[in-house]
Amino acid sequence: MPNHLIAIIGRPNVGKSTLFNRIVGSQDAIVHDQPGVTRDRHYANAEWCGKTFTLIDTGGFVPKSEEVFEKAIREQSKIAMEEADEIIFVVDANDGITHVDREIASILRKSNKQVILAVNKIDNAASETNAAEFHSLGLGDPTPISALGGRQIGDFLDIITKNISTDGKDRSDDDRLKLAVVGKPNVGKSSLVNAIIGEERTIVTPVAGTTRDPIDTVLKHFGEEIVMIDTAGLIKKKRIRESVEFYSTVRTLKSIERCNVAVVLFDASERIEKQDLMIVQSVIERNRGAVIAVNKWDLVADKDNATAKNFEKAIRDKLRLYDYIPFVFISAKTKQRVFRVIELAKLVHAERSKRIGTSELNKMLLDDIHHYPPSTKTGKDVKLNYVTQVKSLPPIFTFFASEPALIGDNYKRYLENKIREHWGFVGVPLTLQFRRKH
């Protein structure tokens, strides 16, 4: 099941970005007193009491304005509302109900979406009575909060996450492998799907951004059904100018969350850009399996036995922490090695489903820990006593230690590398948790 998607909606300058930052726990969105500062959309994964969801920060919604930026922001906010599973409508307690609030509320009442009404800038108990008038918007009980000060945010998060499951599994009655094809615009995603399927199931043109919606196609591969998800190209946030491009980006992120394994397409005829690596990161951050397919290999001139190896090394040097992702060099145009993509995806899916017994884990890893124990800047002795894999799909390992908070990132990477050295997990992001041993 895709991650629960929650959009924050409201008129300008009511504190939407401040609330976004408060929930996400970072300063990802620009916060300023000037209305309309948030123009590009922001996305972030958030977690509360074991429940994960994706939050979208939107610009100030002005229903009938014809000003060019406000018009664009309004269209993108509407798209966010359409795509979201849940909507947070933020209003300003100091301003009271404005005519714009009433117009937005009218739109939300017709949306058939779950709406949580957040009355912001309630900084103390005495001012909570200011929230009462917002009942008249017809969106249920208003929740008083202070995004800036953090007041009542815990109770608010309980409300917005009450319908989200905590089991963390890939929840679906459909146990078929679901494969998303992602990448920058015009790298050949639709061409790859067509080459594998063997017929023109999606429109392919040389114009970047032709595919606007994800399209699911069922492939029968040696008797096994695989769901292919062709997605619109991911675009840099600063380049999102058209509402349709924003829509494509939201849908692509949802497609990544809906798949088991993502095939990230690179273009062999172009230099690897930061955006290519950001797409890989989007897949890994969502704990999906990954395969990198370097497309248009037929366009690379003067190839020899070392060309692919050198190309792969250059990419792995840039991937760094993600160097466990398998590669394949393909041509969707000539169908060169396109079915190798399916084989690698099935391999990664099997790796993602893998479960290692507790006794085997401890036998191998405790020996590694003994040969290279963790060290700390404080000089305090840290002991790792026990490890177990608590789940698969995706794999999560829990280590029990005397001082878990003192274990540094370098040592965590050492443990992850040892797990991969012993058991593979090709193309699969691993989650390592550290708990205090009682």
- Provide the pLDDT for residue 316: 87
Give the model's confidence band at 235: pLDDT under 50 very low, under 70 low, under 90 confident, else very high.
low
Which has more confidence, 25 or 327? 327
Report whether the peptide linkage leading into residue 12 is cis, meaning its omega lies within 30 degrees of zero: no
> Which CATH code for domain 358-436?
3.30.300.20
Which has more confidence, 306 or 42? 306
Name the fold adopted by 4-160: Rossmann fold (3.40.50)
Checking if the pLDDT of 436 tops 80, the result is yes
- Domain(s) of CATH 3.30.300.20: residues in the chain: 358-436
Consecutive H or E run containing 74: helix 68-83
Checking if the pLDDT of 398 tops 70, the result is yes
- Provide the pLDDT for residue 163: 84
Checking if the pLDDT of 65 tops 80, the result is no
- Domain(s) of CATH 3.40.50.300: residues in the chain: 4-160, 177-351
Which of 12-26, 128-142, 214-228 holds the top average pLDDT? 128-142
Give the model's confidence band at 381: pLDDT under 50 very low, under 70 low, under 90 confident, else very high.
confident
Consecutive H or E run containing 91: strand 86-92
Consecutive H or E run containing 423: helix 409-423
* Class of domain 177-351 (CATH, top level): alpha beta
Which has more confidence, 101 or 377? 101
Checking if the pLDDT of 241 tops 60, the result is no
Q: ∠ at Cα 334 (302, 281), nearest 5°?
A: 80
146: helix, coil or strand? Answer: strand
pTM of this structure: 0.64
Lowest mean pLDDT among 58-67, 103-112, 210-219: 210-219
The DSSP line for 288-355 is: -EEEEEEE-GGG--S--TTHHHHHHHHHHHHHGGGTTS-EEE-BTTTTBTHHHHHHHHHHHHHHHT--
Give the model's confidence band at 254: pLDDT under 50 very low, under 70 low, under 90 confident, else very high.
confident
Contact (CB, 8 A) for 390 and 429: no
Question: Distance between CA 389 and CA 377 in Å, rounded?
Answer: 28
